[in-house]
Amino acid sequence: MKYVFHPEALAEYADAVQHYKKQRTELAQAFINSIEDAVYQIKEYPTRYLVINEDMRRCMTRKFPYMILYTVEQDYILILAVTHCSREPGYWKSRK
């Protein structure tokens, strides 16, 4: 199944990569790998993860305190947020 990032989710992802890149390039690459692995798992098993709000699901990343919030649409997966776990809950609810 194909997937698309909500523009704000893509911006969050890019901001997080830059945050880690300022610390170490290798750390940024590890973060990218973690996100890509999570997205791959979502693509392979879109209904596997916990429903947290109506039809929105949450996939936790490995090694980093981030989660990917997404919905399964008819023809694709919509990634609504790439968010740090300590960020204000629910800020992404208006995205769709």
Prediction pTM value: 0.89
24-46: b (≥16 Cβ within 10 Å) or e: eeeebeebeeebeebbebbeeeb
**Sheet bearing 66-72, strands edge to edge:** 2-5, 76-84, 66-72, 56-60, 50-53
pLDDT digits (tens, 9 = 90+) for 12-25: 999 999 999 999 99
pLDDT for 94: 65
Average pLDDT of every residue of the chain: 92
| Mean per-residue pLDDT, 30-40 | 98
**Structural contact between residues 8 and 82, judged by C-beta atoms closer than 8 angstroms:** no
Element (H, E) at 18: helix 7-23
pLDDT digits (tens, 9 = 90+) for 38-54: 999 999 999 999 999 88
Phi/psi of residue 35, each to 5°?
A: -65, -45
Q: Between these two residues, 53 and 77, which has the higher pLDDT value? A: 77
**Structural contact between residues 27 and 49, judged by C-beta atoms closer than 8 angstroms:** no
Indicate whether 93 pLDDT > 70. no
